[in-house]
Structure 1
Amino acid sequence: MKGLFLVEPVVALYAFSSFLIYPLVQQYVYRRLWQQVTNTTYPISDNTSRCAANSSSNYSSYHEEVQRQASIFFLYTDLFSTIPSLVVTLLLVAYSDKGGRKITIIMPLIGTLIYTSAFLTVSFFELNIYLLIGSSILTSLFGGLGTFLGGCFAYIADLCEDGREKTLRMAGLDMMIGLLSGVASISTGYFLRAAGFNWPFLTSALCQCLILIYAIFILEETVKKVPTNAIILDGSPQRSALKQMIHRVYQMFAGASRKYTTVLILLMLIFTSFSFAYVGGITLITLYELNEPLCWTEILIGYGSALSTTVFLVSFVGVSAFTYCGVPQLVIVLMGILSVVSGMVLLAFAKTTLLMFIVRVPMLLSIMPFPVLRSMMSKIISKSEQGALFACLSFLESLNNNVSSAVFSSVYAATVAWYPGFIFLLSAGLCVIPLFLLGVVGLIGVDVAEEAKRAEPDVSGEEDSFEDQNDTSPLSRAT
């Protein structure tokens, strides 16, 4: 049976299965830690807030202690899984130039299935929750979210030749994440209240099994694989792939003018600094909602997560509309960053349920910078260097996801007693860095883009001849 060149179903089902349990992970750890600290059952209420009926000083001190231990728990989880995830991401994305893009998609899916199965096992048998840290380390050996998204975006880059088509299709992947994760988040609270933690974890695991079947047997490969005997004669396939990636990264920066290289580096710095600030603030919203004075129930957390994921859909519509109207891409990135700044500042002062829902509105355009920056970097890179670019971006994305979560968790643990909203002000403040870098690109980016466009045929020609001499053609038709 002939396969399909459609990676969107993989991303969609992955988003659904992940966000079906993502709001539950922090809640599950929070409830287990509550039982350990207080030796009582976690209070469950049908009210919009559990704090109203429990306003004693002991109750407040319990909340602070549980918040502190929960943030430290996630800090350890992120720290111990960071290095393995980064190394595997680098090797997998590099090897995908020879072994194909599917390996960067399938391996993280296997890791996610292991992670979900670990939560199901610990929840069902009520095992020690610190076993989940070990499962996170094991999962990181299969890559992480950065590996998965890097493989998917590289897959799209292999198929798309037109720059506008590439921008819209990459934005479409983000929209898929938003749509399906929103549906999952809405159902999470009701699912938890009706069936507990075990059934959502089991449902997510079954969905991930379906994704694996599609990715392995239906999804078509976009990269022509190197013959197995050639890999064996070459020695270690991972080492040769890593050498190949290092060579292409070197060509990206050394094979162009200084201004061209400067713009590429600035775009990467904008991508990483903005991702660090955004991801760090977003990851702790659920923990913040569980704390006083909000004390949200699982139903409200599900609605809040669903509303947050609508930013993917609105951001896709925004990218499509602004691109169609000819709005400069730097302006689109600027609007996205300002959207995050305004939302995080309001979030830091939100103390009521109504305000917590309202603060999501200013952040509806916050995802726009990611697909636009990927597309900008992809367009100024020659066709034969796409693999090196997305290997770098995958590495940086994995580094950001883990380090930012660890940093913000440690800051939250230190500040939750006197001001829980400080982390959101920190997130907004860190957005000054990408805003400054964006201004620098705005001063020099137009001329350099034209220069890179004129220089691209020569660079790609040199790379093509290099590939022919070495009998490799992993990305000769990328973009």
Structure 2
Amino acid sequence: MAPEVTCPWRNHLSRFQMRTWIEPVVASTQVASSLYDAGLLLVVKASFGGGGAANRSSGASPRDTQEDHQQTAISNFYIVYNLVVGLTPLLSAYGLGWLSDRSNRKISICVSLLGFLLSRLGLLLKVLLDWPVQVLYGAAALNGLCGGFSAFWSGVMALGSLGSSEGHRSLRLILIDLILGLAGFCGSMASGHLFKQIAGHAGQGLVLTACSVSCAMFALLYSLLVLKVPEPVTKTSKVLPTVDTVSGTVGTYRTLDPDQLDRQSVVGHPPPLEKAKTQKTIIALLFVGAIIYDLAVVGTVDVMPLFVLREPLSWNQVQVGYGMAAGYTIFITSFLGVLVFSRCFRDTTMIMIGMVSFASGSLLMAFVKETYMFYIARAIMMFALIPITTIRSAMSKLIKGSSYGKVFVILQLSLALTGVVTSTVYNKIYQLTMDKFVGTCFALSSFLSFLAIVPIGIVAYKQAPRLQYGDIPEK
């Protein structure tokens, strides 16, 4: 046998290919974010810990009155905080996405990571110097003016889409989500223990916030000095139409892929004029489904930290960290769900499975009285990540690669803007109902999640004739 020929540049090319991986940035950023989220909640709770003294004499139950006062104060803080976090990116995120499409894909990622670092430094200084809690509004504003999560995540999705083919894009995006979930799980599991490292004085939480700042600093330096923009993967359009005769009937995320729908035109016939209208309708319906579903998810996520701090659960710092970690396990279960469901279901079916999973878990969460019931409800939500990830993947196949930055940031800003409204409304509903039925917000989220199935069902109906006959080219 002839000796194997090796390429002298193989190791160099391999190293360069590794430098295009966005996963290290996602992992370090999410560890920093999970530490920051837990630290923010615990620091704010400690700041308002003594706020109920003035009300102790007015009620029959001083402990309940003080706890209600603390819950209201924390809820009011998060209303303003979430407004700042959600609205300030509107001033810069779209511009960063436009610059990323025109100049360098790393712009939106690096600028938003700078904002992440500044916001985490704000929490560190608040703990270190015992500043008033209102300083965190300014830190959140700096984060938003740098693009916030909307600019960061749209940049991540753009790089992930560019570096993968259409056939493997959905798997790549859900893999990025998996890395996000694993990093968040590890950070949340450690957050409660790190917060308690310095106890008994104003410096409690210093180790936690310092670790968050360190992870954010690593992510920024890595994106600036190491990360490279991948070359776009050219799609192979010269394929025989018989190769994918069963695509669309098995769920490989291809049912919304316009290239799959156009295989019948490989013989030279132009595509129908209705194709563009159909794609726009599908994108609009996907937008509607994503927004309604995101309303349900954001409402539940915003209220849940308050819910676990009061009776009947009344969790401590370590339990809060474990509870947040349980939320990140859906990234793992959703990834496994995609691998299994994609072999036998269409993507619209998988989206609806995820929505039903979250709706059922939210409904059970409304009646949680014990800690074990909380984790059962979280387990039922195991496929809750599938809808948004699948919708984002489907959209990437209906637009041009040069528009990824703008379209992804528009979607993310739409979700962020509706999330701001949802956060305010849900926090007010929680304040009004926490003494009557504390699970009201979770029941509302369950209803919205079921409602989001309607536009996705319309998409499935519109695709059904094409899935049944479109894969067989006419002679």
TM-score (norm 1): 0.80
Q: Say if 2:390 is the partner of 1:386.
A: no
Could you tell me which of 31, 35, 56 is aligned with 2:50?
Answer: 35
- Sort the Cα spacing of 1:272 and 1:426 in 2 relative to 1 into closer, same or farther, 3 A: same
Q: Say if 2:422 is the partner of 1:418.
A: no
Q: Say if 2:89 is the partner of 1:85.
A: yes
- Sort the Cα spacing of 1:81 and 1:180 in 2 relative to 1 into closer, same or farther, 3 A: closer
* Letter in structure 2 aligned against 1:274: Y
**Equivalences for residues 254-265 of structure 1 within 5 A:** 257-265=276-284
Q: Say if 2:78 is the partner of 1:59.
A: no
Q: How many angstroms does 1:316 deviate by?
A: 0.6
Q: How many angstroms does 1:31 deviate by?
A: 1.8
* Letter in structure 2 aligned against 1:15: Q
**Equivalences for residues 185-204 of structure 1 within 5 A:** 185-195=188-198, 196-204=204-212
Report Cα offsets for 1:32-86 as digits up to 9, x if no partner: 112233389xxxxxxxxxxxxxxx8110111111111111111111223433212
Aligned to 1:122: 126
Tell me which moved more, 82-91 or 5-14.
82-91
Q: Tell me the SS of whatever aligns to 1:100.
A: coil
Q: How many angstroms does 1:123 deviate by?
A: 1.4
**Equivalences for residues 6-25 of structure 1 within 5 A:** 6-25=21-40
**Equivalences for residues 412-451 of structure 1 within 5 A:** 412-447=430-465
Report Cα offsets for 1:395-420 as digits up to 9, x if no partner: 22332443332332222222223222
Could you tell me which of 314, 323, 330 is aligned with 1:295?
Answer: 314
Counterpart contact for 1:8–1:173, Cα < 8 Å: yes
Percent identity among equivalent residues?
Answer: 26
Q: Tell me the SS of whatever aligns to 1:36.
A: coil
Whole-angstrom distance in 1 between the partners of 2:405 and 2:314: 46
- Sort the Cα spacing of 1:101 and 1:450 in 2 relative to 1 into closer, same or farther, 3 A: farther
Counterpart contact for 1:101–1:223, Cα < 8 Å: no
**Equivalences for residues 213-292 of structure 1 within 5 A:** 213-222=221-230, 257-292=276-311
Aligned to 1:463: none
Aligned to 1:71: 75
* Letter in structure 1 aligned against 2:210: L
Q: Tell me the SS of whatever aligns to 1:68.
A: helix
Report Cα offsets for 1:105-144 as digits up to 9, x if no partner: 1111111111111111111221111121122112210111
* Letter in structure 1 aligned against 2:194: F
TM-score (norm 2): 0.81
Q: Tell me the SS of whatever aligns to 2:50.
A: helix
* Letter in structure 2 aligned against 1:25: L
Whole-angstrom distance in 2 between the partners of 1:101 and 1:281: 33
Counterpart contact for 1:113–1:208, Cα < 8 Å: yes
Whole-angstrom distance in 2 between the partners of 1:178 and 1:132: 25
Could you tell me which of 357, 372, 381 is aligned with 2:375?
Answer: 357
Counterpart contact for 2:84–2:144, Cα < 8 Å: no
Report Cα offsets for 1:297-318 as digits up to 9, x if no partner: 1111111111121110110111
- Sort the Cα spacing of 1:375 and 1:80 in 2 relative to 1 into closer, same or farther, 3 A: closer
Whole-angstrom distance in 2 between the partners of 1:383 and 1:286: 38
Whole-angstrom distance in 2 between the partners of 1:123 and 1:403: 29
Aligned length: 409
Q: Tell me the SS of whatever aligns to 2:282.
A: helix
Counterpart contact for 1:100–1:223, Cα < 8 Å: no
Q: Tell me the SS of whatever aligns to 1:257.
A: helix
- Sort the Cα spacing of 1:283 and 1:451 in 2 relative to 1 into closer, same or farther, 3 A: farther
Aligned to 1:44: none
Q: Could you say which structure has the higher helix fraction?
A: 1
Q: State the structure with more CA Rg.
A: 2
Aligned to 1:94: 98
* Letter in structure 2 aligned against 1:37: G
Whole-angstrom distance in 2 between the partners of 1:445 and 1:367: 23
Where has structure 1 moved over 6 Å in runs of 4 or more? Answer: 448-454
Aligned to 2:6: none
- Sort the Cα spacing of 1:119 and 1:388 in 2 relative to 1 into closer, same or farther, 3 A: closer
Whole-angstrom distance in 2 between the partners of 1:74 and 1:282: 12
* Letter in structure 1 aligned against 2:120: T
Q: Tell me the SS of whatever aligns to 1:365.
A: coil
- Sort the Cα spacing of 1:222 and 1:394 in 2 relative to 1 into closer, same or farther, 3 A: farther
- Sort the Cα spacing of 1:75 and 1:453 in 2 relative to 1 into closer, same or farther, 3 A: farther
Aligned to 1:113: 117
Whole-angstrom distance in 2 between the partners of 1:267 and 1:85: 23
Q: Say if 2:135 is the partner of 1:131.
A: yes
Whole-angstrom distance in 2 between the partners of 1:347 and 1:154: 35
Counterpart contact for 2:44–2:133, Cα < 8 Å: yes
